[in-house]
Structure 1
Amino acid sequence: MLAAFGGFEAVKPKAIKEDVQTIIEKGKCFYPVDKGGNPLRSTEIRVRFCETDALGHVNNTSYFAYLEEARLDFLEETHLDHCFILASTRCDFVAQAYYNQKLVVTTSIKKIGTKSFTLSHEIINKYSSKLIAQAEAVVVYFNFDTQESEPLPQELRNFLRQHLEETESVKRK
């Protein structure tokens, strides 16, 4: 099974803050961290065969499903279920991904507005740490009873500030 991943071996660091950079440099596994070595919010995806196309790579529409999964994982942490709508999303495809690869989707906050916020995502090959895609999504705080957007509650703003993008992308090979 390791041959499918170019012979790379998944290695989990004992202490992520101390070991992660060494593991990334050795090219064994990708664990996204901020400048202080703290883990970034991430979602792991294994590419299924049905997500590929006739050319053998992941179809462009599948990336939006990966982004949705990461976005929902992130929003679940707010404990404000069903208060959000997606206003826009975009994805820049940088490299190809293939069946059975493990991908990591990082999520951070790029911008906090009055009634919305912008999520920033990177999709990375877990074992080579190669950037596959970069994406953004604008999410609006929404009242479904009145069918109108509303200002972000202070509790949500505080949560979002904790994830405000103050990070650099980890250097990749």
Structure 2
Amino acid sequence: MDDFEYATEIEVRYRDLDTMGHVNNAVYATFLEQARMDYFRDVVGAELEDVGGVIAHLEIDYRQAVTLDDDVTVAVRVPELGESSIPMEYEILADGEVAATAEVVQVAVDPETRESRSLPELWRDRISTYEGL
């Protein structure tokens, strides 16, 4: 987590578990979504629903199970902004150990034309100058 600039805590809910007693693999994407919402609120100063974006890419590599009793943290970094895209890299940690790594690319979309649009300069400035962890 040393190379990540932002982190947020995620609460594991009983409904997140599968019949094996660990967090279902599909729930990891929900953890990423929650971390993305927190990142946009805390770093960009925008609510995720106001961003007007779509997920163009999602990749998750699982390393270990997460259980109901684990303290879960999701670390986030933005390696390099595109013209209309925000690539984000994640580490999902369970009790301080890496449980999964992920990459998501979100593309800003104009709600009227449904075409990609340039990222606002304010977002670029806030993301590039953020000094979190």
- Taking structure 2 as the reference length, the TM-score comes to 0.85
**CA-to-partner distance for each residue in 1:111-159, whole Å, 9 max, x for gaps?**
2111102001101123xx2110001110111110121111112221112
Q: Which residue of 1 aligns with 2:26?
A: 61
Q: How much does 1:60 deviate?
A: 0.1
Query: How far off is 1:161 after superposition?
Result: 1.4
The equivalent of 1:142 in structure 2 is: 109
Unaligned runs of 5+ in 2: none
Residue of structure 2 aligned with 1:83, choices 34, 52, 70: 52
Whole-angstrom CA distance in 1 between matches of 2:71 and 2:119: 34
Structure with larger Rg: 1
User: More relative contact order in 1 or in 2 (CA 8 Å, sep 6+)?
Assistant: 2
Q: List aligned pairs for 1:44-123, cutoff 5 A.
A: 44-77=9-42, 78-80=44-46, 81-123=50-92
The answer on whether the counterparts of 1:46 and 1:100 sit within 8 Å (CA) in structure 2 is no
Query: Identity across aligned pairs (percent)?
Result: 29
2:109 is aligned with 1:154: no
Query: What's the secondary structure of 2:28's corresponding residue?
Result: helix
4+ runs of 1 displaced by more than 6 Å? none
Deviation readout 1:2-45 (Å, 9 max, x if unpaired):
xxxxxxxxxxxxxxxxxxxxxxxxxxxxxx555xxxx8321111
SS in 2 for 1:143: coil
Q: Decide whether the 8 Å contact of 1:120 with 1:137 is kept in 2.
A: yes
Contact kept in structure 2, 1:42 and 1:105, CA below 8 Å: yes
TM-score (norm 1): 0.67
Per-residue CA deviations over 1:79-120 (Å, capped at 9, x if unaligned) read: 342322211211100111111311000111022111102001
